[in-house]
Structure 1
Amino acid sequence: MENHLATVREYITSHLGGKTLPDDEDLFAGGHLNSLFAVQIVVWLEKEFGIAVRGGDLTLDNFRSIGAIAAFVEANNAPVG
């Protein structure tokens, strides 16, 4: 999971102007993630990791933090892209 975590962390922080966040920080509550950025993340995950994000996967718990996103990728047995 560490490779997934590093990749997700790099993507998120690059879109936040390089701002460093704890892996467990709530991206929604902290105002770092809005609906448009969430869609961008989903599209990126599908391309980067070769996974299909389905409607049932679109829960706050899967996308609440950098760590949650990395865990979601790991749970889908995605290879590191």
Structure 2
Amino acid sequence: MNTANLPDGREVCTSSEEWRAYCEAKTVLSWPLAKRRGYLYGRPNEYGKPANGVMQKRGEAALRKLEDEIRLIWQQRQK
């Protein structure tokens, strides 16, 4: 079992949901703002409605959780 440390100091297994969420957030944070927003909130489809974002695919709770993780990583980098 491989382990890694999260920014909050916790040691987690690299096959855990916590590690997956951290890696996703870190990746999304590395993207330009427009790409990040499209991934999180969706891009307009042929009807002008947002589609294919985290919000549409996983729901608002998952979106908020990912946003919180992104914010935590960003804040850690500012220190």
Answer 1 or 2: higher relative contact order, Cα 8 Å, separation at least 6: 1
Bigger proportion of residues as strand: 2
TM-score (norm 2): 0.29
TM-score (norm 1): 0.29
The structure having more radius of gyration, on CA atoms, is: 2
